[in-house]
Amino acid sequence: MQRYFLYLAYDGTAYNGWQIQPNGTGVQEILMRALATLLQCDTELTGAGRTDTGVHASLMVAHFDSPVPLDEVAFADKLNRLLPPDISVFRLRAVQPDAHARFDATSRTYHYYITTQKSPFFRTYRYRLFHKPDIERMNEAAAVLTEYTDFTSFSKLHTDVKTNNCRITHAAWTQVDAHTWVFTITADRFLRNMVRAIVGTLLEVGRGKLTVDDFRRIIGQKDRGCAGMSVPGHALFLTDITYPY
pLDDT of the residue at 78: 97
**Residue 196: its pLDDT value, please?**
97
Q: Model's pTM, two decimal places?
A: 0.94
Q: What is the CATH number of domain 2-95?
A: 3.30.70.580
Rounded Cα distance, 169 and 155, in Å? 18
Query: For the chain, which ranges sit under pLDDT 70?
Result: 158-160
Q: What residue ranges of the chain are covered by domains with CATH 3.30.70.580?
A: 2-95
Q: Where in the chain is the domain with CATH 3.30.70.660?
A: 107-242
Instruction: Tell me, yes or no, if 52 is annotated catalytic.
Output: yes
* Helix/strand/coil for 5: strand
107-242: which CATH topology? Answer: Alpha-Beta Plaits (3.30.70)
CB 16 within 8 A of CB 52: no
Catalytic residue among 52, 71, 104, 177: 52
pLDDT tens track for 150-201: 999 999 875 667 788 999 999 999 999 999 999 999 999 999 999 999 999 9
d(CA 54, CA 233): 5
User: What does the pLDDT read at residue 159?
Assistant: 64
Region at 62 (left for phi over 0; alpha for psi -120 to 50; beta for the rest): beta
